[in-house]
Structure 1
Amino acid sequence: MTANKRLLVLPGDGIGPEVMREVRRVIDWMDHRRHVSFAIDEGLVGGAAIDALGSPCPDVTVEAAMASDAVLFGSVGGPKWDSLPFDKRPELGILRLRQDLGLFANLRPAKVMDALLDASSLKPDLVRGLDIMIVRESTGGIYFGEPRGIEIMADGSRRGIDTEVYTEQEIARVARVAFDLARRRTGKMTSVEKANVMQSGRLWRAVVSEVGAAEYPDVTLSHMYADNCAMQLASRPKQFDVVLGSNLFGDLLSDLAAALTGSLGMLPSATLGAPDASGRRRALYEPIHGSAPDIAGKGVANPCAQMLSFAMLLRLSFGMEEDAALIEKAVENVLAGGLRTADIMQPGRARVGTTVMGEAVVRELDKLAA
């Protein structure tokens, strides 16, 4: 079958290459069993790109991403590169991709599987059935605002500066992504900011309210201060469905929500750009667990978040709902059968490594597709 779906695979650093290998097993399975073929390019990003090409995100990687239908990203960073100047650090690889591709809306689902109820940081009754989607603005705010830097003051002491900046247009476009998701889910959305102490928060609340009233009157919108949202996530998380936040607050709250599910190793994410004339969006998909350098190369990393990120890719970039659901069900069934990697290990379960978990998911795909 001729491949008409072009993917750029960026394994990156740390456990990235290990978990990406297990996704490649799933891609091969789809080719053989589902007759779905992908044209795959593999590139360098992060520390691996620094070592080979001197840049955390070289131009050749950006060009390949531009030419692809979707990017599947692993992870970047590690102690090997900690001493590099700020503008050369591996983490800038993902920031450049988001900025150059215009990927402004980061989607981070936090869904609790029944098999992992006991792995959550909260009591099972508080998280049973939890299914939250956090939408994080990802190309603006304090991570990109100017001025920024560290300056020497008149008395010789240092001052660090980061600037929180948002335009009306930046807020409105990510709000529409969140409203669209809420409309397809439960019709409920919570927007978070700090309008009580931040001018950018006041604008955020105003613009989100205006977009909701004018374009999404069928979606119930509520506003919440970000610190209160954090407290509510830790005490009554099931009150939320879609949560919209700025780059900073979305980053913090999505990691908190991840703890509720039992492991960062289980959570995927997608970062989307604006739709073009045909409705196609540039998109990048990645697990949120990071490079985990402490376990890199040991064969113990959990590949499930990378697999579930690929499932999000199939659903959102290619409209392949059935295949995406098949992968998600295979992962859920394997966990229900008792297999666990170290990060989600529980008493009475079978501890396995990265490769065995990947093989188990592929075997389960065979059963589901039979």
Structure 2
Amino acid sequence: MTTFKLLLLPGDGIGPEVMAEVERLVAWVNAAGLARIETETDLVGGCAYDVHGEAVSDTTMGCALAADAVMLGAVGGPKWDGVPYEKRPEAGLLRLRKDLELFANLRPAICYPALADASSLKRELVDGLDIMIVRELTGGVYFGEPKTITDLGNGQKRAIDTQVYDTYEIERIAAVAFELARKRRNLVHSAEKRNVMKTGVLWHEVVTRLHKERYADVKLEHILADNCAMQLVRAPKQFDVIVTDNLFGDVLSDEAAMATGSLGMLPSASQGGADASGRRRALYEPVHGSAPDIAGKGVANPIATIASFAMCLRYSFDLGETADRIEGAIARVLDEGLRTADIRQDGCRTIGTREMGDAILAALDAAA
């Protein structure tokens, strides 16, 4: 049996509490003989700054580079508002993404049937929703140069952000989307603004060519990003995989997430390129933040972090059946009316972080 090395970075706020439930799931997977996963725990974010004076140490980065996958809880909080900008807790996450060369952000938007009424959209629009947004993570307007604010005098300033994409950046993110679609419903929507942006023209050209050369078996639809935003509200279930750039992906993934009814329920993955063996460096984390206001109270929702672990099993360890079992256990627990405080509903029982972990483990055992 292959041994997988998983680096756990609980981070700040509620991070350690929700990561503790992942540790229990790792133990369950090992005890059930489904895999052999070895874990190591280290610091990132504000807690790392307190110890090392940096948001992530070189030693921790070495562990991340050597691991088969990394799981992160959350970083940040008001305690560190006054630290130097380059040492802020979020800088640890940014360095992880940069040094691991994680260019592909995978953001699923899944609406569990039990939570369909919590969506701001009508139940019939979101019940059964399952979208994967593939966002390019290391290029585009967030990283393009020049990026400046210039004082023009007379009380006037000029701000410049530069949208830049090279062919290879578009090819590699589109390839990730097409490969994912082959394992899902075989449909990719490529979202850009080729009607007003030169980067959109290149994006359309490169995705079209790559599709013709390597992925003709996958259905491809091109869509303008603003129309995509409208369609996510009008009829979101028409989408399977959406691939888009850094800026549009930032916006569209949050919009899709809210269609599910709870931003705090959703996992994410960030992946790099495949090496000669097909292995991809990857980091998995919940979409939610560190929530320092509830840290230490035992009320945080661990489902997004547990679902992130399921993504790790599926995409990094090739344990899709085990991931299915965990995702199915989450759905059954919600169907039974168990809720943490952030997703409480009338007629349901509100439980804490540990109790939610207990319930998911019990559901796994019951289905074994």
**2:117 is the counterpart of 1:118:** yes
Matches within 5 A, 1:99-248: 99-155=98-154, 158-248=157-247
Query: Normalized against structure 2, the TM-score is what?
Result: 0.95
Which residue of the partner structure matches residue 79 of structure 1?
A: 78
Matches within 5 A, 1:270-281: 270-281=269-280
Which residue of the partner structure matches residue 47 of structure 1?
A: 46
User: Which shows bigger deviation, 23-32 or 167-176?
Assistant: 23-32
**2:321 is the counterpart of 1:322:** yes
Which residue of the partner structure matches residue 25 of structure 1?
A: 24
User: How far apart are 1:157 and its partner, in Å?
Assistant: 5.1
One-letter amino acid matched to 1:187: N
SS in structure 2 of the partner of residue 34 of structure 1 = coil
CA deviation map 1:179-200 (0-9, x unaligned): 1112222221111122222222
Question: For this pair of structures, how many residues does the alignment match?
Answer: 368
One-letter amino acid matched to 1:41: E
SS in structure 1 of the partner of residue 316 of structure 2 = helix
Contact 1:274–1:282, Cα closer than 8 Å, also in 2: yes
User: How far apart are 1:8 and its partner, in Å?
Assistant: 0.6
Distance 1:341 1:159 in 2: 47
SS in structure 1 of the partner of residue 32 of structure 2 = helix
User: How far apart are 1:141 and its partner, in Å?
Assistant: 1.4
User: How far apart are 1:18 and its partner, in Å?
Assistant: 1.1
Which residue of the partner structure matches residue 333 of structure 1?
A: 332
Distance 1:363 1:330 in 2: 8
Contact 1:8–1:64, Cα closer than 8 Å, also in 2: yes
User: How far apart are 1:172 and its partner, in Å?
Assistant: 0.6
Contact 1:265–1:303, Cα closer than 8 Å, also in 2: no
User: How far apart are 1:225 and its partner, in Å?
Assistant: 1.9
One-letter amino acid matched to 2:22: V
Contact 1:3–1:39, Cα closer than 8 Å, also in 2: no
Which residue of the partner structure matches residue 57 of structure 1?
A: 56
User: How far apart are 1:149 and its partner, in Å?
Assistant: 4.5
SS in structure 1 of the partner of residue 277 of structure 2 = coil
User: How far apart are 1:309 and its partner, in Å?
Assistant: 0.6
Distance 1:277 1:56 in 2: 31
Contact 2:34–2:322, Cα closer than 8 Å, also in 1: no
Instruction: Sort the Cα spacing of 1:128 and 1:315 in 2 relative to 1 into closer, same or farther, 3 A.
Output: same
Which residue of the partner structure matches residue 362 of structure 1?
A: 361
5+ long unaligned stretches in structure 1: none
CA deviation map 1:323-346 (0-9, x unaligned): 111111111111111100122111
User: How far apart are 1:69 and its partner, in Å?
Assistant: 0.5
User: How far apart are 1:154 and its partner, in Å?
Assistant: 4.1
SS in structure 2 of the partner of residue 221 of structure 1 = strand
CA deviation map 1:45-99 (0-9, x unaligned): 1212222212222222211110100001111122222344432322222221111
Distance 1:132 1:214 in 2: 25
Instruction: Sort the Cα spacing of 1:92 and 1:147 in 2 relative to 1 into closer, same or farther, 3 A.
Output: farther
Distance 1:368 1:114 in 2: 19
CA deviation map 1:15-36 (0-9, x unaligned): 1111101111111222223363
SS in structure 1 of the partner of residue 299 of structure 2 = coil
Contact 1:341–1:357, Cα closer than 8 Å, also in 2: yes
CA deviation map 1:150-192 (0-9, x unaligned): 4444446554443221111001100011011122222211111
**2:267 is the counterpart of 1:268:** yes
Contact 1:135–1:250, Cα closer than 8 Å, also in 2: yes
5+ long unaligned stretches in structure 2: none
Contact 1:30–1:36, Cα closer than 8 Å, also in 2: yes
